[in-house]
Amino acid sequence: MEAEDKSGEQLRGQSSATGMGPSLSQESSAEEGLPPEWNRQRAMTRKVLIAILLFGLLLGSSLLWVYIFRNCGPRSCETPVCLDLLAHYLTSGNTSVAPCNDFFSFACEKTKGTSNSLRALAEENKSRLQRLLEAPGSWHPGFGEEKAFQFYNSCMDTDAIEAAGVGPIREVIEELGGWNISGNWTSLDFNRTLRLLMSQYGYFPFFRAYLQPHPVLPHTPVIQIDQPEFDIPLKQEHEQKIYAQIVREYLSYLNRLGTLLGGDPSKVQQHASLSISITSRLFQFLRPLEHHQTQDKLFHMVTIDQLQEMAPAIDWLSCLQATFTPMSLSPSQPLMVHDLDYLRNMSQLVEELLLSHRDFLQSHMILGLVGTLSPALDSKFQEARRELSQKLRELTERPPMPAHPQWMKCVEETGAFFEPTLAAMFVRDAFGLSTQSAAMKLFTEIKDALIARLKKLPWISEETRKEALKRVTQLQVEMGAPQWAWKSDMARQEYSDIQLGPSFLQSVLSCVRSLWARNIRSFLQPFPHHRWRVPPWEANAYYSIPDHVVVFPAGLLQPPFFHPEYPSAVNFGAAGVIMAHELLHIFYQFLLPGGCPACDTNALKEVLLCLERHYAALPLPSRASFNSSHTLLENAADVGGLAIAFQAYSKRLLQYHGETTLPSQGLSPQQLFFRSYAQVMCRELSTQDPQDTHSPPSLRVHGALSNTPAFARHFHCPRGTLLNPSIRCQLW
């Protein structure tokens, strides 16, 4: 014990000598020995220092966050194209509406009516073509391009069309043998007249005939025979009263046509009445599509010989040979027919009329031809046609058609007859290679997001998943325009078979024959690539099942849906969702009954039923109606397309910095994404076609957004609001 005490004293002495200072217990005891005032001052000083330190930390962190936000957060896009887009958004949408309750109105409602983005874009594309067609010195003399400009100018020369009056159409009637209503009439052979109407005027009074890809061999053409396109909107479901009113209006129109052509009013009345009777009887021969579906036979393959036996009034071989020259047809030529019963009954009616009312049959064909050619005639014929259209739309409770200015009608006509020329001009002016490259990059990111989702779908079996991934990787994409449209010589293509003048009507008829012949030649040539269904300036994407190709025309990839300088949120939310929607068309068969036998059918049925009920529960605008089962496939593509595009956009935000947003909108990039999606769907609610497989526009917005949890999160929607429901359905 003594040794320990001594060693302890030695250690304490060393400690004091080396300056290590007192131990904690000694220090505490020293503080306790200080006066109380010193202790209080010391504690106060310590608190002040701590407060200053905390304030400094808060101030520093705030400045750091401001720096990060200003330098790393979304910047305002101030480029001219962004400012134009901002102006577009400011004139479209009602921001006073709560977005969580009615995002369609928030994005689409204007002071007067509702914005229609697709129609506005289509009109802007036509306006661009107008500027190109009217630009001085923009065409090359001596080439086919010159004919396109000459045709457009002759269409715009309304003074010359008015001066020609009824002379040009009377010449056509005389070429067809005349008629009993006015002038001399030569009783020509019925099939000769029908042959002329079909081959020289592109008019089919009793049936339609056109080339289609073979249903089994898609690159082999086949002639398809269908019912005619009736000039009046008769339908089986029309009530007797409405049906009678439609017939009266059309009878009045035919009387007006006959009178304009110089016919005796009493004779005109008689011939017009029988023409209406012929149309009504032909209409009664039709069978609705559902009738063919119940028989599990949408079309029949027959030879020309077989059809000749079934419908002998028509000389099928001579009429079809004249129409489809240079095809070489024989009696054994296969045809695709949708409604054999209609053709049998039509033939019997023609035979009856040839025996008793041959002159009335001639008048029926000529009145129908004049009606179809009225856009190429003077204003009296055009006005008669316009008034008939308006009255028939009123009777069938369809919205009135907007009046189109002359330049727009002339652009449409020129585009129809000279598509190769206008396609090359449009692509060169509106969709350069850099824009095409940016669009392809966007499509690749959308496709990658789809592939990632396919790998995680719970209702797809491994076998089906492999098949689905294979279909995506083998898919072809055509962006902007067909390959030939990028070649400068296409704008100068020769149209040697087109003879313009002396009247505008004769120019139109020459163009009709040229276009028909070009279509036939295109079907006869080996064509390894996909044939576009729409011209490049159209705002309409589609997926072709036979060619397994998805098409995005240049006319769709324009502001306000796409521009390389836009914030990514806009391009992904608008064009990106459209791309994802079309990609999902590849898998429509999986969603049909029995279309995916290896899938978890119970899980698939459950989510499809959920989706159907979800849309059926959404509030509809007044006077709108739809069948949620009829629109189910398109609803699934809307919901899935939005989810895929948002996933691709979220990945873009993680990989790339420098995202921008629109100024003075107060929208985050994610909010701008959803705003851009809704902008695509903006359309007047009253324009919905009952046969449209898409839901009404407000439901296309609310249905997809309410099934997207990210929307409710980024717009801070309270639980239970329309766009933040308790139950969601996620198929893709």
Which residues are known to be catalytic?
582, 638
Among 330, 29, 355, 368, CA closest to 169: 368
Question: How far is Cα 514 from Cα 144, in angstroms, rounded to an integer?
Answer: 13
Question: How far is Cα 390 from Cα 253, in angstroms, rounded to an integer?
Answer: 12
Among 369, 354, 355, CA closest to 190: 354
Question: 552: part of which helix (H) or strand (E)?
Answer: strand 549-553
Q: How far is CA 437 from the centre of its chain?
A: 22
Question: How far is Cα 159 from Cα 165, in angstroms, rounded to an integer?
Answer: 10
Distances (CA, A) of 52 to 61, 62, 211, 543: 14, 15, 86, 66
Question: How far is Cα 347 from Cα 353, in angstroms, rounded to an integer?
Answer: 10
Are 512 and 202 contacting, i.e. CB atoms less than 8 angstroms apart? yes
Among 539, 549, 587, CA closest to 443: 549
What phi, psi does 550 have (nearest 5°)? -110, 135
What phi, psi does 342 have (nearest 5°)? -60, -45
User: Phi-psi bin for 156: left (phi > 0), alpha (psi -120 to 50), beta?
Assistant: alpha
- What dihedral do alpha carbons 36, 40, 41, 46 form, nearest 10°? 140
Are 368 and 379 contacting, i.e. CB atoms less than 8 angstroms apart? no
Among 320, 312, 311, 313, CA closest to 340: 311
- Burial grade of 241 (CB within 10 A; 0-12, 13-18, 19 or more): exposed
